[in-house]
Structure 1
Amino acid sequence: MKGQGKRSICVSLVALTFASALAACSSNSSSGTQNGTAGTAAGTTADASKEHRTLTVEVFDRGKPGQPDLNNNFWTKYINDNFGKQFNATVNFVSVPRAQEVDKLNVLMASGQAPDISFTYTQGVVYNYVQQGGLAELDSVLKQYGPTLTKYLGDDVLKYGKFNGKQFSIPGKRTVLAGSNTFIRKDWLDKLGLPVPTTPEQFYDTMVAFKEKNPGNVSGVIPYGFSLQPSNPGLNYIPEAFKPSSLTEEQFATLQPQSIWLTNWNMPGFDKAVQYMNKMYNAGLISPNFATDKDGKLLDADISNGKVGAFQTNWDGPYRTAPGTYANLAKNVPGAQLIPIDPWQNDAGKHPKNVYSPNGMYIIIPKTSKNVDLAIQYLNWMADPKVTLFLQNGQEGVDYNMVNDVPKQTGTTNSGDKMMTVANNLDYDILSNGIELGDQQKNTAAISAGYPGYEKDVENALKVGMVDSYTTYYYSLPNAADAKSNTELKNLSAQMLAKLIVAKPAEVDSLYKTLVQQYMSQGGQAVQDEYIKNYKAQNGK
């Protein structure tokens, strides 16, 4: 799915040699006086009698034009003026290029130069460090210094940082779990007097009506817009309608171990979803260039130009400023209206949606760190709601104003010393992956406020995207076979889907079996076998 974060573990396993001591990382850090100070977080105390220490913290360098010094700016000064003075410490930020974060972190860990607080979004990388003995075990120090942190994350998030039953990572908390939505041209439905489709059958019939009656009166009408992207091949949420609702936990865990929108050749019902897409293609209902539109730009253009009747994308895709499909559509086709719908009903009458797991990045502390306690105190301080509010928004009355208990930005954090290089400043507020106001209703309102002109639409889209939602089975053991062959299997899956979708309907069944046999022999079987092995090991079977 375009723009969607990867949920499967896809990283090459690397052997690392760790140095016996962490080399000192030092740099100058200015600390002026900032407003918005926060008191000592519950359960932690600062001991001024202890010698001054330097805590090193990783920060992503996103290479954004005009970004300030990542170790000397408004946010780093606030951190040092508050946490630093309170705990008699200086916090130095070590920048790592976002696009090369895994490679750079591997080098830093291998040389003993990794910051006291490091992080990655890839579970397999963390597991490698655990296996090599490179990470500090955090159970006891978390219990002693992290009461606020523990309460904020809770067991449902913290478990994602446990390996072999021990806490080796502090996962960030993802505040928006929605994955994707199906969108449809409501003005087309209204023009034809059609209801909103709520089942796969109704959706298909609606697409036929769009093709035959062409309510947009456009040349080259595309009822269902679709793009097959090799880096993330799949059928979006269509397979949810054909997957049996009666799967046991073990079947759910071992036959559907990855994101639903990726190819799950062994998942019961996936063949039916492929047949459904094949039927639509042969009826002329989907994008004719779906297999060559490898980056989705052709689909974006077709949507913007008013040719597409329905499509699937990120839950908030149309409302984003980039690529700005809804804004472009409204400009090109006055009166055009997009709404999220929920047509992928299963045999139990539900509309299941595989959403993100509740964990964000994996925060780790190298075993070579001399500041394990201080690192947990830093994260515990950051879990204080007042600190989170400041790091995500800045100073009230200057950088934002509270409107109905929701912070409304004034624009001061878009440039200069206060520039946030990523939404919600999550490069500095590493505990919260998304807006965090301590209340889901407020979070939703704040998220919606970030899409000017589409506030109500976004609020509704988020609601639709979470109906009957669930997360994939949690594995504490990464799948080494998947890490080894993930890229090759994704490329093969894209080729398989393209062949199956354009095949003659009478040939789909036999071709499906032949291609899946090929897929299994080229690494798919090893991946499934390891999921089964890991499931049994994790459950003591």
Structure 2
Amino acid sequence: MKMKKVLVPLSALTLLTSVLAACSNSNHDAKESGPASTSTPTSTSSTENKPSGSPATLTVEIFDRGIQGQPDLNNNTWTRYINEHFGKPNNAVVKFVPVPRSQEVDKLNVLMASGEAPDISFTYDNTTVYRYAKMNGIMQLNDLIAEHGKELTNYLGEKVLSYGVYNGKQMAIPAKRTSLAWGGMFIRKDWLDKLGLPLPTTRDELYNTLVAFRDKNPGGVDGVIPWGLAATGMNYGTGNLVDSFWEAQSEEEFVTVPGWLRPGNKEAMKFLNKLYNEKLISPDFALDKTAKQVDADVTNGKVGFFSANWDYPLRQNISEPLKANVPDANFVPIDTFKNDEGKYKKIAYNENGINIIIPKSSKNAELAIKYLNWMSSPDVLFFLQYGEEGVNHKMDDNGIPEVINQAGDNMQTSYLNLDYTLVVNGVELGDPEKNIKALAATAPGLEEVAEQSYKINTTDTYTGFYFDTPNEANIKFGKTLGDLNKQMTDKLISCKPSEFDNLYDKMVAEYMAAGGQAVTDESVKIYKAMQANKK
């Protein structure tokens, strides 16, 4: 299998490639050479001319991740700091508008349609930004950034900002990532040890391991689940298994053709169908649309293998209950889906993260840019991510800050307060090596596992191809195709083996007729134009 550095449009991927999201644990870079000062930051130059009169209310979207025991998302250590150090100097009140993480696009669409979207809204979905840019539903930001966003511009840099340019205009402000690892795969090492099995390094070895988990139940649990899976969505996907089946394609084909038509994709889905029908996958995965059931299965010690974000088993809501329920449980990262080139190809993040937009309905666009500009200060970012030393974090012997996990006001409901530090997806210490060590430090006792997982999931990677022109067909059909992706994946995994071939061909034909062909044709057109412009 010969393939150049593989670039792929996220819209063309099936959701089998671990679209995790993105989301829950992204990261970005900074220009500072080490940890910022732990002294409490003050307001920046954006507040030199302090406004007077009644305070303005700046509304800012925030993900509600539904974490047990989470604080009031509008009244906690971090929101009070924001209102004290940005709000008061700018005669403003910053009010956060919670949006369920699992429904972020749908909820944003409702808010935009009703004219009630927060002044600062955001989405990980590029198609949504394309659509609102085309509809003239969001503000063009070039002038506002030029006047009020000097620190924001310096922090993000030209490359990151370019991901928010549509038809030559800055329509979105992408966050910056400091870590590019995406998905990961994890297996119960203690189960392997009990069975005398090595870490599986190929699909066949993993299959044999899953069978052994099913038949020998090394955990002695009621209802053992060899592979924990949830309905296609944020977590508990199929990792890079599908990628490992893909055959050679030209770069143009790879970045323009939907995953459903990629050579080898059907065989990948058939393999997953085989696993499901042999009771090697969560039996009711298609009903588990929030992943709460598989979370419970993992933390109760029933699951032997799963794929999710590269750091998922290190997170407090997984690692702590698992340790309490099954003290000897030991999930370790593995690379097991090798392709016919002997590579473990997997997708990684681009340098850009979440897309920040300002709706046309906003009356506070200038204040919104000032807020993001204020947030771009190294001192502000450090405090929002780490808080006060001795209270919210401690420093290790290498000068790496480590968050002190807490409940109540001091709880961080996302990794390093990702949801409150919009200009950066993840830890920001100004040095890539320190960033990774700081990420690892968020999982005390599991630092080595974290660094190993990061290394595995930044090896043999490809990134999403960036089309410099909005795909009109994708704007029109993207939501429909995204929903179809999920339905197709779940149905094809769980159907009867005798029905698989006909169902696959039928659903792929329906997908292409529902907009897949139109998106492909437009992608080819844009790709060819981009290549021609390089000559």
Measured against the shorter chain, the TM-score band is 0.7 to 0.9
Q: Aligned-pair distance for 1:354? A: 1.5
Q: In the superposition, relative to structure 1, how do residues 234 and 216 fare at CA in structure 2: closer, same or farther (>3 Å)?
A: closer
CA–CA distance in structure 2, aligned partners of residues 102 and 307 of structure 1 = 32
Q: Which moved more, 1:372-381 or 1:346-355?
A: 372-381
Provide the residue aligned with 1:385 in structure 2: 378
Does structure 2 conserve the Cα–Cα contact (< 8 Å) formed by 1:393 and 1:424? yes
Does structure 2 conserve the Cα–Cα contact (< 8 Å) formed by 1:96 and 1:104? no
Does structure 2 conserve the Cα–Cα contact (< 8 Å) formed by 1:354 and 1:470? yes
CA–CA distance in structure 1, aligned partners of residues 75 and 303 of structure 2 = 44
Q: In the superposition, relative to structure 1, how do residues 303 and 121 fare at CA in structure 2: closer, same or farther (>3 Å)?
A: closer
CA–CA distance in structure 1, aligned partners of residues 231 and 107 of structure 2 = 31
CA–CA distance in structure 2, aligned partners of residues 101 and 189 of structure 1 = 38
Alignment of 1:27-106 (within 5 A): 36-38=40-42, 48=49, 57-60=58-61, 62=64, 65-69=71-75, 73-80=80-87, 84=89, 89-99=90-100
Provide the residue aligned with 2:254 in structure 1: 252
Q: Secondary structure at the match of 1:177?
A: coil
Does structure 2 conserve the Cα–Cα contact (< 8 Å) formed by 1:109 and 1:366? yes
Q: In the superposition, relative to structure 1, how do residues 406 and 503 fare at CA in structure 2: closer, same or farther (>3 Å)?
A: same
- CA offset digits 1:446-494 (Å, max 9, x no partner): 2222223433322322332322233222235251243341354135314
Of 342, 349, 352 in structure 2, the residue corresponding to residue 356 of structure 1 is 349
Q: State the one-letter code of the partner of 2:475.
A: A
CA–CA distance in structure 1, aligned partners of residues 205 and 179 of structure 2 = 30
Q: Secondary structure at the match of 1:73?
A: helix
Q: In the superposition, relative to structure 1, how do residues 54 and 350 fare at CA in structure 2: closer, same or farther (>3 Å)?
A: farther
CA–CA distance in structure 2, aligned partners of residues 205 and 420 of structure 1 = 40
Q: Aligned-pair distance for 1:136? A: 4.1
Q: Aligned-pair distance for 1:302? A: 4.4
Of 298, 306, 330 in structure 2, the residue corresponding to residue 337 of structure 1 is 330
Report the TM-score when normalising by structure 2: 0.76
Q: Aligned-pair distance for 1:255? A: 2.1
Q: State the one-letter code of the partner of 1:379.
A: L
Unaligned runs of 5+ in 2: 1-15, 24-37
Does structure 1 conserve the Cα–Cα contact (< 8 Å) formed by 2:427 and 2:435? yes
Does structure 1 conserve the Cα–Cα contact (< 8 Å) formed by 2:237 and 2:307? no
Matched, 1:127 2:130: yes
Q: State the one-letter code of the partner of 1:425.
A: N
Provide the residue aligned with 1:443 in structure 2: 435
Q: In the superposition, relative to structure 1, how do residues 53 and 383 fare at CA in structure 2: closer, same or farther (>3 Å)?
A: farther
Q: State the one-letter code of the partner of 2:181.
A: A
Identity of aligned residues (%): 44
Q: In the superposition, relative to structure 1, how do residues 226 and 376 fare at CA in structure 2: closer, same or farther (>3 Å)?
A: closer
Provide the residue aligned with 1:503 in structure 2: 497
CA–CA distance in structure 2, aligned partners of residues 227 and 102 of structure 1 = 20
Q: Aligned-pair distance for 1:216? A: 4.3
Q: State the one-letter code of the partner of 1:395.
A: E
Q: Aligned-pair distance for 1:341? A: 0.6
CA–CA distance in structure 1, aligned partners of residues 301 and 417 of structure 2 = 35
Provide the residue aligned with 2:20 in structure 1: 4
Does structure 2 conserve the Cα–Cα contact (< 8 Å) formed by 1:481 and 1:530? no
Q: In the superposition, relative to structure 1, how do residues 432 and 91 fare at CA in structure 2: closer, same or farther (>3 Å)?
A: farther
Of 170, 173, 176 in structure 2, the residue corresponding to residue 170 of structure 1 is 173
Does structure 2 conserve the Cα–Cα contact (< 8 Å) formed by 1:230 and 1:494? no
Matched, 1:463 2:455: yes
Does structure 1 conserve the Cα–Cα contact (< 8 Å) formed by 2:60 and 2:119? no
Q: Aligned-pair distance for 1:218? A: 5.4
Does structure 1 conserve the Cα–Cα contact (< 8 Å) formed by 2:174 and 2:355? yes
CA–CA distance in structure 2, aligned partners of residues 113 and 487 of structure 1 = 25
Does structure 2 conserve the Cα–Cα contact (< 8 Å) formed by 1:252 and 1:473? no
CA–CA distance in structure 1, aligned partners of residues 180 and 209 of structure 2 = 29
Q: State the one-letter code of the partner of 2:80.
A: N
Q: State the one-letter code of the partner of 2:249.
A: L
Does structure 1 conserve the Cα–Cα contact (< 8 Å) formed by 2:394 and 2:404? yes
Larger gyration radius, structure 1 or structure 2: 1
Provide the residue aligned with 1:18 in structure 2: none
CA–CA distance in structure 2, aligned partners of residues 231 and 397 of structure 1 = 34
Does structure 2 conserve the Cα–Cα contact (< 8 Å) formed by 1:233 and 1:493? no
CA–CA distance in structure 2, aligned partners of residues 294 and 515 of structure 1 = 21
Does structure 1 conserve the Cα–Cα contact (< 8 Å) formed by 2:21 and 2:235? no
Does structure 2 conserve the Cα–Cα contact (< 8 Å) formed by 1:56 and 1:117? no
Matched, 1:405 2:421: no
Does structure 2 conserve the Cα–Cα contact (< 8 Å) formed by 1:230 and 1:490? no
Q: Name the structure with the higher helix share.
A: 2
Provide the residue aligned with 1:11 in structure 2: none
Q: Aligned-pair distance for 1:169? A: 1.6
Matched, 1:180 2:180: no
Q: In the superposition, relative to structure 1, how do residues 91 and 363 fare at CA in structure 2: closer, same or farther (>3 Å)?
A: farther
RCO comparison, higher one (Cα < 8 Å, 6+): 2
Of 196, 199, 218 in structure 2, the residue corresponding to residue 196 of structure 1 is 199
Provide the residue aligned with 1:480 in structure 2: 475
CA–CA distance in structure 2, aligned partners of residues 72 and 520 of structure 1 = 46
Q: Secondary structure at the match of 2:336?
A: coil
CA–CA distance in structure 2, aligned partners of residues 462 and 289 of structure 1 = 30
Q: State the one-letter code of the partner of 2:206.
A: F
Q: Aligned-pair distance for 1:275? A: 2.6
Does structure 1 conserve the Cα–Cα contact (< 8 Å) formed by 2:227 and 2:281? yes
**How many residues align structurally?**
491
Q: In the superposition, relative to structure 1, how do residues 145 and 539 fare at CA in structure 2: closer, same or farther (>3 Å)?
A: farther
Matched, 1:532 2:524: yes
CA–CA distance in structure 2, aligned partners of residues 232 and 193 of structure 1 = 29
Q: Which moved more, 1:401-410 or 1:102-111?
A: 102-111
CA–CA distance in structure 1, aligned partners of residues 501 and 466 of structure 2 = 32
Q: State the one-letter code of the partner of 2:82.
A: W
